[in-house]
Structure 1
């Protein structure tokens, strides 16, 4: 009886052990399956992540390309006038001798003749432009300030205008001096105008003019037009040195002189004296671009009489391309200035 009971206990123990092993095996199998599923999920997610990263890189490249394209294809410039200085006063003649002479000629001091002889209209105005583009607005107003800046020389201090306050102070002195002159001398008027104007834009090239006119008596006033050609892509004013090396500027000077000399020939081909000698002739740093070529502008009286005005010497693009710096040959081509 005891042996049978012992045998039964051993058999039961073995049966329970076998059941436990099966449960563990089943659990291990389930865990292995779950691990395999998780590994597959991780592999799938890694694949999706790689695809997403690739898509992000493509989008970044597309964004950069669009930004570069936007930089190359600048939008149209819109300008607004900005008055920097404006003053209008009347200077009254106070010189007793001149007033006494006028009293002999004009008895009615309320007449227009009396006012015209004794009152000097004095008008000063300076204006710039705003475009809404910070760097361009600064470049343009600096051109206005530079107009009034003068390098120092013996007996004459340097004048450096860097802001509107300094400009106002300088022009207030000019107006005050004009009023003092009007007290001592009869004059029909004194005017000074300096205006910055927008001429045109050709893709990444914009051209402005700084036009000045001064009248202080006499048969006519004096005027000048300074051209400002701005490279919008590189954010700078284009200078003569940007376009031509020093050696090529010497070659350009010869071509300009030949063009100027040709103006002195009459219809029969006869050469007449030029207004200026070749030794005094120069290459101006005043020019502008057009669809046909480059136009070099000389000041009034520089190459001819006042009646001839500002003389321009023009060249087709194909004439100057061999002399232009390579960088601007490319820029000009891109801008369709050819």
Structure 2
């Protein structure tokens, strides 16, 4: 009897120990917090530096002259972003990456060989949680021209979905005209000074997230003279709450009314 009693006690004690060791299911609230933290941690904090691009032809020549290339890109901690810019650069200036030998320059008497320049620089602008903005700056000077032509294109990335954001990706479907009207109204003084009527203004797909609103950028000569440079028109975030998809609007403070 004593042995049976001891055996029963031992089995009961072992069952209690095993029950106590089992992991309890986390409450739903705790699981929700963990999921949010995991999502936040999955968004990488971008680290970027500018690096030169190795070119097969830093100077490409034909019979008429030469084109000198200066190309720099960014090296980040996200390979897919680095690959995006390298592919863009190679498509824009394939000659700089060509392995074909240069042609001989025409040095005959009276010939005036041209020397032109082309530069491309990529730089990191900033990050707002799961959105990051970069800029591609280009400059081209053709020999004999009065001045060179420059351009700055802003590239916005959705880091969560690993894709570039076009304007059509962030605007609520069917709201393009409302965005355009709001943009004109917000910049009507400057547009009126430059004799730009409402019907002539178009939405630019070149944009970036500014401190107070989305900034639409226009090429040289489109809205103003060369001397005035590229035009930037800002549309305040407060005017975009129902026009831009919520996931692509920055978190804004809620001001209490007096």
TM range (shorter): 0.7 to 0.9
Task: Report the alpha carbon displacement of residue 203 of structure 1 after superposing the two structures with TM.
Answer: 3.3
Task: Report the alpha carbon displacement of residue 225 of structure 1 after superposing the two structures with TM.
Answer: 0.6
Matched, 1:304 2:249: no
Task: Report the alpha carbon displacement of residue 316 of structure 1 after superposing the two structures with TM.
Answer: 1.3
Matched, 1:195 2:140: no
Return the alpha-carbon distance in structure 1 between the equivalents of residues 111 and 222 of structure 2. 30
224 and 237 in structure 1: CA distance in 2 versus 1, 3 angstrom threshold: same
- Give runs of aligned pairs for residues 141-156 of structure 1, distance below 5 A: 141-145=86-90, 147=92
202 and 125 in structure 1: CA distance in 2 versus 1, 3 angstrom threshold: same
257 and 66 in structure 1: CA distance in 2 versus 1, 3 angstrom threshold: closer
185 and 229 in structure 1: CA distance in 2 versus 1, 3 angstrom threshold: farther
Q: What per-residue deviation string (whole Å, max 9, x for no partner) do you get for residues 21-60 of structure 1?
A: xxxxxxxx1331232122222222222232xx228x68x9
Task: Report the alpha carbon displacement of residue 292 of structure 1 after superposing the two structures with TM.
Answer: 0.9
Q: Is the 8 A contact 2:184 2:191 kept in 1?
A: no
Alignment partner of 1:68 out of 26, 29, 39: 39
139 and 71 in structure 1: CA distance in 2 versus 1, 3 angstrom threshold: same
Alignment partner of 2:2 out of 30, 37, 43: 30
Q: What per-residue deviation string (whole Å, max 9, x for no partner) do you get for residues 285-333 of structure 1?
A: 100112211110001122222112111111211122221123323xx11
Match of 1:14 in 2: none
Return the alpha-carbon distance in structure 2 between the equivalents of residues 64 and 273 of structure 1. 53
Match of 2:68 in 1: 123
Return the alpha-carbon distance in structure 2 between the equivalents of residues 187 and 280 of structure 1. 42
- Unaligned stretches of 5+ in structure 1? 1-28, 95-119, 149-160, 267-271
Return the alpha-carbon distance in structure 1 between the equivalents of residues 107 and 6 of structure 2. 103
249 and 145 in structure 1: CA distance in 2 versus 1, 3 angstrom threshold: farther
- Unaligned stretches of 5+ in structure 2? 254-258
Return the alpha-carbon distance in structure 2 between the equivalents of residues 182 and 216 of structure 1. 19
SS of 1:189 mapped into structure 2: strand
Q: Is the 8 A contact 1:86 1:124 kept in 2?
A: no
SS of 1:44 mapped into structure 2: helix
User: What TM-score do the two structures reach when normalised by structure 2?
Assistant: 0.77
Match of 2:208 in 1: 288
Q: Which has the higher strand share?
A: 2
Match of 2:155 in 1: 228
Match of 1:249 in 2: 176
Select the structure of larger CA radius of gyration.
Answer: 1
Q: What is the CA RMSD across the aligned residues, in angstroms?
A: 3.6
SS of 1:295 mapped into structure 2: strand
Alignment partner of 1:333 out of 244, 251, 255: 251
- Count matched residues: 248
User: What TM-score do the two structures reach when normalised by structure 1?
Assistant: 0.61
Q: Is the 8 A contact 1:89 1:121 kept in 2?
A: yes
Match of 1:210 in 2: 136
Return the alpha-carbon distance in structure 1 between the equivalents of residues 60 and 37 of structure 2. 58
Q: Is the 8 A contact 2:139 2:151 kept in 1?
A: yes
SS of 1:209 mapped into structure 2: strand
Matched, 1:168 2:139: no
Return the alpha-carbon distance in structure 1 between the equivalents of residues 71 and 15 of structure 2. 72
Matched, 1:317 2:237: yes
67 and 320 in structure 1: CA distance in 2 versus 1, 3 angstrom threshold: closer
